[in-house]
Every structure is written in structure tokens, then in C-alpha cells.
Structure 1
Amino acid sequence: MKLIIDGKSLTLNSIENFLLNNINIELSKEAKKKIIKTSKLIDEWVKDGKVIYGVTTGFGAFSNVRINNRDIEKLQENLIVSHTSGVGEYLPPHIVKLMMLLRVNALASGYSGIKINTLQLLIDMINNNIIPIIPSQGSVGSSGDLAPLAHLVSAMIGKGKVQLLKNVLNNEFIDRRKIISSKTAFKKFGLRPIRLAAKEGLALINGTQMMTAYGAYICIEAHKLKKLADIAAALSHEALRATDSAFDLRLHKLRPYKGQINVAQNLNALLKNSEIRKSHKDNDPRVQDAYSLRCIPQIHGAVRDAIDFISSQIEIEINSVNDNPIIFPEEKEYISGGNFHGEPIAIPLDFMAIALSELASISERRIDRLVNGSSEKLPKFLAHIEGLNSGYMMLQYTAAALVSENKVLSHPASVDSIPTSANKEDINSMGSISARKCYQVLKNTQTVIALELLTAAQALEFLKPLKCGIGTNIAYNTIRKFIPPLKNDRLIKNDIDKILELVKSGIILSEVEKVISLK
């Protein structure tokens, strides 16, 4: 299997397949033709002495400085080494690999002036899982993600560090030394560092690939998490013996948000034929449940609509040309503009952090109702021998901590700005910060949903022999295959690690979807 790159056809599904199955990539024939044509035009312009930003001039505030033709290659190398200013922890390998893929795709459109052999080295690095070491901090999302991409390109010119991995998702290393020079790595695979020609350094680092790589990964995981959140909510609904009347589709069609209707349909399908619901349906004194149960379609649905919108924005960006200047080979013209600016990604990723935080917040409220001892006659903290055992008391503490952290992380980075490059770049997107914050919110929310699943499964032990609905019963049984009921206190961290693994691996979701097609 190969993923053909043409600059316009990447999707979130193809990106997920690329990561999961370690798929090799190659350029389409049409992309190769466009790339060669544009790079030849750059060579002609340089030979003719044409003044082009970043090709025959300096960069940023130095854009008025003319560069002699004999220094053009040195100019591009200097651009890379001077911009390797990143600090902080290294980016996760799977994010770096996505950055590389997205940069190849943007350059494959043939509007950037890159040479085919330069792009082929980047493709060879991807196909051999030669993953550059890239610090996570230092980008303000101005001319895109300059510093992170410069660290990526420093590996291509033989001056950076890399990791060799068998698979980027499990950090399985080929080289036990873990971090080695890119020159050493290239020798192992018969590759050579490249010398950057005119425009190439600029073409490689002007772009939004760090923030967009995060965005693509977050969207992929968020689409799974939105379904899993419905499953967790349905399990809690069963355990708390709530009413399903609030999920009547007649109600939701009067407020026809797509997400709201889809969640109500999912809940009805998951709870279908529930013995628990049937046992109290005709003699339930409660008129209506708490919001965290009654308003699941409205709240989960709003999150879903946000995820769908953000995904549509990310899919635009992954197939966009976002460097500067942009070359139009047919017209033999170039335009200096701002397609590298990160605002179209920064705002959606701030929005995603807010949406996922709300998904965690409602989940934590359901966890509290399950363990607080005042809801629906469940024992306090779901302990079998209260007092001697603390049961799942601390799960709500953990969820509360993560939800509170999410609230801080959800403050939008995109509303901030700070000028750079001697005020030439006077309003910046901060998109890389939006991306990194959102990634942490995603991980926190995955954990909170996992804790709800664990807590709800334990609560259901006290309702036996009654069984759950069609979908909720599958979810419960899947959890029980890996995590036994809590009879006496034990090392809770082991339970948390196991349920989180079930969430991240997609086992619970896939088992449920074998029987129920969730929206």
C-alpha cells in the first residue's frame, strides 16, 4: 500500500491510515511535473537577476537587503540554522511525522519552487521513519511554524538530530541510542543530506505544519472520543437509573442541530432493551433528571458540531499552499502574501479545546453522581464494605483535577498576540500554543471519559441481576474482560491504566460498533 501525494487529496481518514499502518508515500506524476516546472522558473529568475523576497533578498525586516547570486545557497542554509531556536520538550514522534507528511503535501502542489530531489529526501525520511528531533516551543504562528520547521529541515541538511523508529505510535526504536545525528541516520539508509538551492529553505519552513499536524491528530481522536463519550454517558444513565424520555427524537427534531439529534439516536440505540430501565419505568417518582443526564444530547451534541466544524477547517488546511512567496508557473509570476499565517488554525484549535473541555466537565459531573452516595441508592464511593474500603472515591478527585486543568488550558491563545521581526510581523496567531494546549486537553478528556466508564461499570455491579441495554451491555462486558469488579480496595492506578488503554486502543468502541452503528 502507498499513499499518493498530489497536494489536494489528503483526508483525516487517509492520515489516520498513514499513521496506524506505517504506509509509505510517493508523489503523483502530475505533482512531479508541477514541481519541476516551478523550480526551473526559480532558476531562470535568479539567473535574470529578478528581485524576489527570500530568494534574492533577506528575510523579514531584512527584506530590503539584496543578496548576491553567489550567496543564494548560503542564504537558504543561514535561514535554517538561524531559525533553529526552539526550546522545551520534544514534539511527539507521531506529530513530527505528520508535520513531514503535511509539508510534502503542501509542496506537492507545485507553487513553492522546491526541487524534486529535496522533496524526495523528505519523503525517504518519512518512509524510513527517520524522525527529526523538534523542540515544542518557540513558534508564534507568524510565518507559520518557523522554528519547528527549521529544526525539521536542519536534519535534512545534515545538521540536526533524529530518532529512528519502527512505528511512531508506540515509540519502538530501530536505533537503541534513540537520538543520533541525521548524517549517521542517512548513512544507514543510503541517503545524503541536501544542499538548499534558491527559495528552498523558505519553502520548507513557511507553513502551518506543526499546528496543523496537531490539529489533524486531535480531530482524528476527537471523532472517536465523541462516540465513546455517548457510550460512557449511557452506562452512567443505566447505573443511575435515569429516565430516557429526554432522548425522545420528537423533542430533538424541534431543535434540529445535527449533533444533538445524533446523540439522542445513539443513546436510544445503546439503551434499547435495557432491563434496568424497564424495572423502574412505570413506578419512577422523578419527573426529570439532572442536567448531566437529561441534557446529554444538547451538550454532547454541541461538542460534536464543534468537532465537525473544526475538522472541516483542518481538512482545508492540510490541502492548502501556505508558504511565501507563492509561484504561479503558468503566468510566470509570484505573489508575496500571508498564506502562512496561522489564524485559520489557531481559532479552531482554541474552539476544540473549549469543546473537549465541556465533554470532560459533564462526564466528571456524572462520575460525582455515581460515587457521592446520595444518588439513586448506590453505596458511597461504590465500595462493598464502606469505611473499611474507600472504593472508587479517588476517581472523582482525579477527574476533578483534569477538568480544572482543562479550564485553564481552554483560555484561547489566539486572542493574544505579540509583535516579532522588528514589528514587521505585528500580529501573530499563537497557533502552535493553541495546538499544544488542545493536545493536552484531548489527553485529559480521554482520561476523564475512561474514568467514567470505569466508575459506571462498577456501579452496575449493584444492580445485578438486571442487565443493561444492547449497546451498554457490550461496553460493560468488554470492560469486565480486562478489569474485574472492585470487591476490596486494590491498587487503583492499575485499573486506571487498563481502562485508559481500552479507550485509546478503541477496543470498547469497536466492540460496541460491531452491533450498533453509532452516529
Structure 2
Amino acid sequence: MSALVLTGTGVSTSDVAAVAREARKVEIGPDVVGRLEKARKVLDQAAASGQQIYGLNTGLGANLGTTVQGDASAFQRQLLEGRSAAVGEALPVEAVRATMVARVAMLSTGGSGLSPAVFVALVDALNAGVHPVMPSLGSIGAGDLVLMTALARLLIGEGEADYQGRRMPAAKALMMARLGPISLAPKDGLSLINASAVSAGSGALAVTDALSALAQQQHAGALTMEGFGANRTILDPRLHMARPAAGQAEAAKALHDLLAREDAPAPTTIQDPLSIRCMPSIHGALIEGIGQAKRAVEIELNAAADNPLVLGDDELVLSTGNFHTAALSLAFETLGLAIAQGAAACAARFIQLTGPGRNRLPKYLSPVGGASAGFVPLQKTVTSILASIRHKANPVMLDFLPVSEGVEDHATQTPLAVSKCAAMIALWRRLIAFELMAAAQAVDLREGLVLAPRTDAIHAAVRSLVPALREDRPLGVEAEALHAALAGGNWPLKRVAI
């Protein structure tokens, strides 16, 4: 895998996922260090002229009016120590790595005034696999400042680190990786932490997972249409041209392609239940929601979101609100609602398949009948999972209080919006596994049914992990095995491209 070359632009969500999960290396492009040096010079000149610069020669937050006395570099260490207030379970290593690559991508734009040596040290730590132990609770989305202190303290050799699967003091981890702690020049500490890199990095992972889950949902939906004997006229492209809702035509085409064959079977009904008939519009909304979240994340990854911001070409240092991620939070709240809607339809299709026997399917998808429970007990599990998804779909971006003596009287709760969306994706994938199981069973119970080539491959993928139900047996364990394949990247078909 080729390295991700930082240039100050063009970093994608898939780039972040590859660095975070596949140990893709990061390289510094030829113009980046020069850009950083120029910004650093502008910052130093502005400070020397007597300009008040937030976080360099002034306090932070409610201490804005306090002038920093004495050693400005020492103050950078002080602000890190004083803001190391995060608590809770540590973020997974992949989320920390995503945070690190998000921050170096943002810094490479040159708007922070960060010392080039500190930037290089952060890239080196990422490539060496030295990761700060980063508690998960503390950011309200007005920048991820409190969480990000763990990253800055790692670089100065303080706090704890994860290295080669072991937790240890940061100084020891740096030494074992043949790296050393760095010194902070004025504003370097603030430049490292005053950004929404946790939100952007975790958001990139969530978008990547949503894309793969969407592809798997399309597979499950297509197999359900086969097993249910659904009316395929809903996929006629002329219908979606007549009402060009966001993503609808694209979703319909994907289902049409999955079901494509020379001789399609006749439908069993004129109209199917809405969870089947409206799949193109439901999945279209998902496509639009994922696309919106992807665009919002990639704006952050390639933006100068610092406060204060150094405008190198104009030789200015200006205060900003660029760290505030209202649009990013809104995008993930919207995506969460789209996922909840798609998950509800997925659950409804499962219940249609496993119910009293619609479209000549046997009751509960049981081949033996009588007192056999078949698939019907799983309806409770499906409903339980859907309830959890619906609970997480409730918005959080308005849940904040004024802090820091009212100076910080607005927040976005972006980390929470992203994390609950990621949890919804994981739960949604469980529902997809249940739908795949039921749809495959329905296919097996339709005598003489010849599947389309691509749905035949989907059916075979299910059957490689879950055998057909011949008599009642524990299905929960088998659902876990199928879910593990979907979540672990072992599902044979690729994700949707957006």
C-alpha cells in the first residue's frame, strides 16, 4: 500500500481509515514544511509586534483577558496540564490513530503556526505506532480540546501511551520507538489540541463503516426480494426519473443490478409491503445521508480550523470560530436518522419473511411446521436491537450548557453525535445479518427458484456460514457468526462507492 502523502489537501475518509486500521504510512509532501515555516514566522512576528494572540500571550477561555507573564513556552506545558481533564474508557487504538492522522492532515494546511519540528514529531509517532491513551469523555464539540491534550502530552513525553499492544509511560514508548520528547514553542501546545480531530477522525471511520453496511443492506434487500417473490417493477428506472429524490435512482439501480437475469420470475403480488416496495427511497436517503457526512468530514480533514488562525500569505493572525463543527454534528445526526429509518425497514422485512406465511412461504420459515418455532423467536431479538437504534437516533447536538463563565456558551456535541452514529451502524449490521439469514431460508423454501447470478453469490455467502434450517436449533450463535463476517470485512462483496 502506497503512503498517504500530506499536501494540505485531498485527504479522504478512506485515507484516514487505511492509516487507522491498516497501518498505512504517512509522508510529508515537499511543500508542507515550507508552508509551516512561513506560518511560524508570521506568528512570531505578530507576537513580537505586541499583538495579543489567544493562547500565546493570553490565557484561554474565561482567562482571555489575562496576559501571560514569563516563559511563553512554559505556559504551553501549563495549558496542557491544566486541560488534561478527560475521563472514561480509553478510545480504541484505531480511533486514536484516526485522530492523529486527522490532526496532521489539518496541520499540513499551514494555518496553525505550529513549529515544523512538532509536526514532524507527530507524524513520526503515528508511523511508529506510538499512540496516546486517550480517555473518551470530555469534549462538547467546541473543538475536542480536552481529549486532544493526551496527544500533545505524548509528544512531550508525559501521560500514558499504547505501543505494540502494551500500555506504558509515554516517555518509555517514545524511547522504545527510538523517538524523543519535543519542546514546545509559544502556541505549539494550543495548536496541537485546539481542533476537532477526534470528531473528524472518528467520523471518517463511521463513514467508512456506513458505506460497507449500506452495500450489505442492499445485498440483504435483494435476497429478500428473491425469497419473498417480490414485484420487481419497483426498480424500473422510469419510476425514479419521475420522482428524482436524493439517491433513489442510484439505490434502485444497485438492487436492479443485483437481481439482473435473463428470465425474471413473475411477481407473486401486485404490490408488496412498504418495507420492500419503498426500498429505493429508503436506501436513497441512506446514500444521501452518508454522502453528506462524508463531505462534512472531508471539509474538516482538509481545512485550517485553528484559533487563532495564521494567514501566511496575508501575514495576519486572526481569531476565528473555525474549530466549531455545527455542520459536522448535524450531518451525523441526519445520518443517524437515515440509518434508523433503514434499520426499521430491515426489521420489518425480517418480520414479513418470518411471520404467518405470506406469499406462499411456510409459517415462521419452518420446513417442518406444527409446533416448530422456526425463525419467529428472533423477531424479539430484532425488535430489541431496533429499539436500541431508535433510542440512539435521538439528537444530542442541542444538549449543552454555557461553560467557562459564559464565554463558551454554545457547543455542538459532535463527538457524541459521531459515536452514537457509529454504535447505530454496528447495531444496524446485526439486523442485516438477521435479514440475510431469513431471506436465504426463504429462498431455500421456494422450490424451483433459480436465483440471479449475484443474488446466488449472496445466498452462497450466507450458506457458507449458516446452514439451512431443517429443524429448530439455536439460531443466535449462527447470527453472531454471520454478523462477525459482515463486521470484520470478510463479506465477499464490496461496499458502495459514494
| TM-score in same-fold range (> 0.5) | yes
The change in CA–CA distance for 1:288 and 1:496 in structure 2 (over 3 A counts) is same
Of residues 167, 181, 203, the one that matches 2:169 is 181
Residue 337 of structure 1: CA displacement?
A: 1.2
Of residues 368, 376, 381, the one that matches 1:398 is 381
**For 1:376, what is the secondary structure of its paired residue?**
helix
Alignment of 1:472-483 (within 5 A): 472-483=455-466
Q: Look up the match of 2:86.
A: 86
Residue 196 of structure 1: CA displacement?
A: 1.7
Q: Which amino acid in 2 is paired with 1:61?
A: A
Structure 1: which 5+ runs fail to align?
A: 166-172
**For 2:247, what is the secondary structure of its paired residue?**
helix
Q: Look up the match of 1:272.
A: 260
Partner Cα distance (2:305, 2:473) in 1: 53
Matched-pair identity in %: 28
Structure 2 length as normaliser, TM-score? 0.95
Q: Look up the match of 1:303.
A: 286
Q: Is the contact made by 1:266 and 1:518 (CA closer than 8 Å) also made in structure 2? A: no
Q: Which amino acid in 1 is paired with 2:160?
A: K
Alignment of 1:244-263 (within 5 A): 244-263=232-251
Q: Is the contact made by 1:269 and 1:470 (CA closer than 8 Å) also made in structure 2? A: no
Q: Look up the match of 2:449.
A: 466
Q: Which amino acid in 2 is paired with 1:3?
A: L
Residue 459 of structure 1: CA displacement?
A: 2.0
Alignment of 1:372-387 (within 5 A): 372-386=355-369
Partner Cα distance (2:30, 2:114) in 1: 16
Alignment of 1:414-433 (within 5 A): 414-433=397-416
The change in CA–CA distance for 1:207 and 1:387 in structure 2 (over 3 A counts) is farther
Structure 2: which 5+ runs fail to align?
A: none
The change in CA–CA distance for 1:298 and 1:127 in structure 2 (over 3 A counts) is same
User: How many residue pairs were aligned?
Assistant: 497
Partner Cα distance (2:447, 2:153) in 1: 61
Partner Cα distance (1:20, 1:35) in 2: 28
- Give a deviation string over 1:386-426, Cα, whole Å, max 9, x none: 46643333332222112111111111112333111110011
Q: Look up the match of 1:219.
A: 207
Q: Is the contact made by 1:475 and 1:508 (CA closer than 8 Å) also made in structure 2? A: no
Q: Which amino acid in 2 is paired with 1:13?
A: S
Q: Is the contact made by 1:42 and 1:198 (CA closer than 8 Å) also made in structure 2? A: no
Q: Look up the match of 1:39.
A: 40
Alignment of 1:14-29 (within 5 A): 14-29=15-30
Q: Is the contact made by 1:274 and 1:470 (CA closer than 8 Å) also made in structure 2? A: no
Relative to structure 2, which stretch is displaced further, 443-452 or 43-52? 43-52
**For 1:393, what is the secondary structure of its paired residue?**
coil
Q: Look up the match of 2:111.
A: 111
Please say if 1:101 is aligned against 2:105: no
Q: Which amino acid in 2 is paired with 1:100?
A: M
**For 2:421, what is the secondary structure of its paired residue?**
helix
- Give a deviation string over 1:374-396, Cα, whole Å, max 9, x none: 32232333233346643333332
**For 2:44, what is the secondary structure of its paired residue?**
helix
- RMSD value over aligned CA atoms? 2.0
Q: Look up the match of 1:444.
A: 427
Q: Look up the match of 2:73.
A: 73
Partner Cα distance (1:110, 1:494) in 2: 51
Partner Cα distance (1:391, 1:92) in 2: 38
Residue 470 of structure 1: CA displacement?
A: 2.1
Alignment of 1:200-219 (within 5 A): 200-219=188-207
Relative to structure 2, which stretch is displaced further, 335-344 or 155-164? 155-164
Partner Cα distance (1:309, 1:50) in 2: 39
The change in CA–CA distance for 1:86 and 1:389 in structure 2 (over 3 A counts) is farther
The change in CA–CA distance for 1:197 and 1:236 in structure 2 (over 3 A counts) is same
Q: Look up the match of 2:121.
A: 121
Q: Look up the match of 2:12.
A: 11
Structure 1 length as normaliser, TM-score? 0.91
Partner Cα distance (2:6, 2:448) in 1: 55
Q: Look up the match of 1:138.
A: 138
**For 2:464, what is the secondary structure of its paired residue?**
helix
